[in-house]
Amino acid sequence: MIYLLLNTLINKRIYLCFFFSCITFSCIAIEPIIPIVKNPSIDTEKFELGELLFKDNRLSGNQNTSCYSCHNLTAGGDDGLKTSINLSTNSPTVFNVSKNYYLGWLGKYNQLKPHLEMILNNPKVMNIDWAFTINALANDVVYTKLFKVIYKTGVSKTNIINALLYYEENLILPSKFDAFLLGDINAISASAKKGYEKFKDYGCASCHQGANVGGNVFQKLGVINTFSGENGNYATKTLRVPSLRNVAVTSPYLHDGSVKSLKGVIKLMAKYQLGQTLTDTEVDQIHDFLKTLTSIIE
Amino acid sequence: MNRKKLILILIVLSSTLIISIYSTYKRYSNLQNTMDIQNTIFQLVKLKSADAVWNYELNSIHSDNFPHFDRVNKAANHYHKEMMLFLDISRNIKEPFDNFTTLLPTLSRQKKSRMNDYLSEVAIIRNSLKYLDTLLFSLNKEAENDKFILKFLADAQYQLSKSIALNQRINLKEPNSFNQCVHCTEQQIKTVNAINKHLKILNNQIVLSHQARDAFFNAEHSDLLTTLFDELSLIYVKTDAKHETIKSQILTFTLILVITLVTLFLLFYLLYRTIDEHRAAGITDPLTGLYNRKKLIENLPMFMASHVKYGQKFSLLFIDLDGFKGVNDTYGHDIGDKLLQKLSTRLTNSVRKQDSIYRIGGDEFVVVVQGINNADEAKNVAENLLTKCNRKYELEGNKCIVTLSIGISLFPEHAVTPDDLLKCADEAMYYSKNHGKDRVTVWNKKHN
């Protein structure tokens, strides 16, 4: 009896889901890239607290590192170094990071919270000394005020993590290209539009796609032609395809930061991921297109 | 006496009932809560539908111009969330159910990693197809008048359609392939080689993607969800049945308990009522609980009538305490009262069943000895009283000794009216008192 009842229930739900997902996605399904929009009902106080924490050196064990050290918010959300200090990989941008389905170059994490806890505790990154940090913030008037307003419990480990997480989750910064996708056809140049067509036609969009133009699928570098790096020491691993949002301002490129210029990566991608040699105009056009993915910061 | 026994039995009964209700209740509370199971079932329903959506998204990955990995990943994340909730809700459900639930995360993780494999293959196939399409399109335009190239193109296009057919798992006929371009320029040969390379990669990737996809739709995983469902329904039905029996048990027990308690209450009420009535009628003595003089005067005519009717005799034993005043003076009235109470119990325990005792004055008692044939029988009773009541009384550490002086009158020999009968007994008692106390005297004419 119950079994039958529940079974019909399941089936109904499934059809309903199909129905909705068809409606909601059909309008934008033709494009490989889904526009992003800012969260309209953001809690500004909490967001600002998160930003303060993001920039605060007292969150690190040696008290001279913050998230900001490697994720510069005024320079594309990365550090501009080949590989970050103490680390063997290039720092990716933190902008729009919540739109990634996998985090880090190897994509080992698929949720921000455990990833954040890992960074904070990682001796090579933040190496946080919780007792010190909580004590320091609890003696800081600016923080005690903000924490009291936002959380009843004041300064605590859970609340610090919660505020940072809120900041990461809501650091959504749309670009000119999003405006274009949402109907403003003059938002990007003619050359960028051509570049976008090339991007789709040559198959870049098979890997770099979705809301974050990447971050949702795993690939090696060198699927058509084996890639061993400019000086033969590129180690091929299965990587999360990186997001191309803000790519124009996050040089150097690749997970080991081995390529300096964006045009260089475009050529490299075409050659090793597609088995294709692009003309200079095509490279320029794609380059123009990628530049439109840079976040607009007020 | 009977009533007292009944009350005792009822009290024992109700306490056993309370204990059994408590133990049944304990069993009940140890049982799996059916609400828990219900919630688990509902969560499983959600999990199953999340799984169905996930499968649906993966199935429709080819139905868009660009495959939307975001949607598949979103469905996977949603599935994961529902699974964590399910594991959380179901953690209280015991063996053998937990064997299945431990399997669930492993199989789900497997499914997720196979999904990623599949998506990677899909992406490569898609970019190969896109690339080939673009290349063939431009080559076609360039070589409109070059029949050699066109021949090669026709073959390449055929190969491409074969790949697509393979992707859709359609079997095609196998012609001789044409993949050498003898008359081509160097540039053209380069392009042709690129095309051939892509065609080969495409074929390989499609086979890989089929493998990844087959692996993704793991029968073990979907079977597990069904098994979980069956198990849960079974557990639910079982526990529900158990709950019902226990509920009805508790209900019957409680019903019996209520009935017993009501009877108990009634009995207590009745007992209270009789005591109260006696007190109200003024026929018992509050200190000793014995009847008083009033009751004796009331009863005597009845005794006389009934004894006359059956041709039997009865005696009055007039009892007076020797030395009671001394006890009162030395130890105080409290001790005196206690002594009287003790004495009354001894009296009550020493007389025969049919005899009744009255306290008619401060230290004066009357025992009516019924159904006898001569004064000697009454005298036996009286002498028994002497021996029983003359033993020491232990009162709050004080040892008191009182003795009894007893006078006996016999109905109808000595007197036929209550007053006379009492007077005779009184006179006999005085005789005992004046002749050394602690003795029994049967009335005699010369005593007056």
Between chains, do A206 and B124 touch, taking CB under 8 Å as contact? yes
Q: Do B227 and B301 sit in the same domain of this protein?
A: no
> Residue B15 falls within a domain, yes or no?
yes
Chain B nearest-CA residue for A11: B49
Are A258 and A252 in contact by the 8 Å Cβ rule? The answer is yes
Q: Select the residue of A34, A202, A218 nearest B134 (Cβ to Cβ).
A: A202
Chain B nearest-CA residue for A223: B124
- The predicted-structure confidence for A173-207, as pLDDT tens digits, reads as follows 999 999 999 999 999 999 999 999 999 988 899 89
Between chains, do B66 and A31 touch, taking CB under 8 Å as contact? yes
SS3 A228: coil
> Residue B58 falls within a domain, yes or no?
yes
Q: Select the residue of A3, A25, A202 nearest B131 (Cβ to Cβ).
A: A202
CA dihedral (A137, A141, A146, A152) in degrees, to 10, reads: 80
Structure confidence at residue B180 (pLDDT): 64
Question: What letter represents residue A52's amino acid?
Answer: L
The span from the CA of B420 to the CA of A6, in Å, is 97
Are A177 and A291 in contact by the 8 Å Cβ rule? The answer is no
The phi and psi torsions of A157 (rounded to 5 degrees) equal -55, -50
SS3 B365: strand
Task: Evaluate if residue B422 carries a pLDDT over 60.
Answer: yes
Q: Do B11 and B112 sit in the same domain of this protein?
A: yes
> Residue B435 falls within a domain, yes or no?
yes
Q: Do B21 and B164 sit in the same domain of this protein?
A: yes
The span from the CA of A137 to the CA of A154, in Å, is 10
Structure confidence at residue B2 (pLDDT): 62
Write the CB contacts of A155 (distance below 8 Å, at least 6 apart in sequence).
A134, A137, A138, A143, A144, A147
Instruction: Please report which confidence band the pLDDT of residue B78 belongs to, taking 50, 70 and 90 as the band edges.
Output: very high
Per mean pLDDT, which range of A94-98, B45-49, B276-280, B374-378 is the poorest? B276-280
Are A218 and A238 in contact by the 8 Å Cβ rule? The answer is yes
Question: What letter represents residue B69's amino acid?
Answer: F
> Residue B299 falls within a domain, yes or no?
yes
> Residue B242 falls within a domain, yes or no?
no
Interface of chain A toward chain B, CB-CB under 8 angstroms: 2-3, 6, 9-10, 13-14, 17-18, 21, 25, 29-32, 34, 101, 110, 200-207, 209-211, 216-219, 223-224, 238, 241, 273-276
Chain B nearest-CA residue for A211: B70
Structure confidence at residue A274 (pLDDT): 84
Q: Do B401 and B295 sit in the same domain of this protein?
A: yes
Contacts B46 to A, Cβ<8 Å = 13
Q: Given B185, B215, B232, which residue is the final one in a domain?
A: B232
Segments forming the whole domain that contains residue B53: 6-232
* Closest to B349 in 3D by CA, of B385, B391, B382, B387: B385
Between chains, do B131 and A275 touch, taking CB under 8 Å as contact? yes
The CATH number of the domain holding residue B157 is: 1.20.58
Q: Given B232, B255, B280, which residue is the final one in a domain?
A: B232
Task: Evaluate if residue A3 carries a pLDDT over 60.
Answer: no
ipTM: 0.82
Please state, in angstroms and as integers, the Cα–Cα distance from residue B138 to each residue in A138, A287, B132, B135, B144, following that order.
67, 22, 10, 5, 10
Q: Do B325 and B399 sit in the same domain of this protein?
A: yes
Are A116 and A50 in contact by the 8 Å Cβ rule? The answer is no
Are B410 and B343 in contact by the 8 Å Cβ rule? The answer is no
- Indicate the helix (H) or strand (E) that contains B187: helix B186-216
Q: Do B300 and B205 sit in the same domain of this protein?
A: no
Chain B nearest-CA residue for A102: B73
Average pLDDT, chain B: 83
> Residue B284 falls within a domain, yes or no?
no
> Residue B339 falls within a domain, yes or no?
yes
Between chains, do B74 and A101 touch, taking CB under 8 Å as contact? yes
Are B75 and A101 in contact by the 8 Å Cβ rule? The answer is no
Average pLDDT score over residue span A41-47: 93
Between chains, do A101 and B116 touch, taking CB under 8 Å as contact? no
Q: Do B300 and B430 sit in the same domain of this protein?
A: yes
Q: Where do the domains of chain A lie, and which CATH numbers do they carry?
A: 44-169 (1.10.760.10), 176-291 (1.10.760.10)
Q: Select the residue of A3, A101, A210 nearest B233 (Cβ to Cβ).
A: A3
- The predicted-structure confidence for A53-91, as pLDDT tens digits, reads as follows 999 999 999 999 999 999 998 888 888 888 888 888 999
Structure confidence at residue B374 (pLDDT): 87
Structure confidence at residue B361 (pLDDT): 85
The span from the CA of A17 to the CA of B50, in Å, is 9
Kindly tell me the burial class for residue B333, based on how many C-beta atoms sit within 10 Å of its own C-beta (0-12, 13-18, 19 or more).
exposed
Between chains, do B233 and A216 touch, taking CB under 8 Å as contact? no
Between chains, do A29 and B68 touch, taking CB under 8 Å as contact? yes
Q: Do B82 and B166 sit in the same domain of this protein?
A: yes
Contacts B122 to A, Cβ<8 Å = 206
Task: Evaluate if residue B383 carries a pLDDT over 80.
Answer: yes
The phi and psi torsions of B168 (rounded to 5 degrees) equal -90, 5
Please state, in angstroms and as integers, the Cα–Cα distance from residue B331 to each residue in B343, B398, B399, following that order.
16, 8, 10
The span from the CA of A193 to the CA of B130, in Å, is 18
Chain B nearest-CA residue for A109: B77
* Placement of tokens 């005696």 in the chain: B315
Instruction: Please report which confidence band the pLDDT of residue B3 belongs to, taking 50, 70 and 90 as the band edges.
Output: low
Instruction: Please report which confidence band the pLDDT of residue B264 belongs to, taking 50, 70 and 90 as the band edges.
Output: confident
- The predicted-structure confidence for A128-158, as pLDDT tens digits, reads as follows 999 999 999 999 999 999 999 899 888 999 9
Task: Evaluate if residue B161 carries a pLDDT over 80.
Answer: no
Are A204 and A73 in contact by the 8 Å Cβ rule? The answer is no
Contacts A202 to B, Cβ<8 Å = 127, 130-131, 134
> Residue B126 falls within a domain, yes or no?
yes
SS3 A127: coil
Between chains, do B129 and A210 touch, taking CB under 8 Å as contact? no
Between chains, do B233 and A2 touch, taking CB under 8 Å as contact? yes
Question: What letter represents residue A194's amino acid?
Answer: K
Between chains, do A276 and B131 touch, taking CB under 8 Å as contact? yes
Interface of chain B toward chain A, CB-CB under 8 angstroms: 41, 45-46, 48-49, 52-53, 56-57, 64-71, 73-74, 77, 116, 119-120, 122-124, 126-131, 133-135, 194, 197-198, 201, 229-230, 233, 236-237
Average pLDDT, chain A: 87
Count of domains for chain B: 2
- Note the helical H segments in B147-185: 147-167
The CATH number of the domain holding residue B391 is: 3.30.70.270
- The predicted-structure confidence for B199-248, as pLDDT tens digits, reads as follows 888 888 888 888 877 877 888 888 888 888 888 888 888 888 888 888 88
- Note the helical H segments in A151-279: 157-170, 176-181, 190-201, 204-207, 262-274
Average pLDDT score over residue span B270-284: 77
CA dihedral (B270, B273, B275, B277) in degrees, to 10, reads: -140
Structure confidence at residue A23 (pLDDT): 40
Average pLDDT score over residue span A19-46: 72
Average pLDDT score over residue span B238-263: 85
Q: Given B232, B249, B281, which residue is the final one in a domain?
A: B232
Of all residues in chain A, what percent are helix, strand and coil, respectively (each to 5)?
45, 5, 50
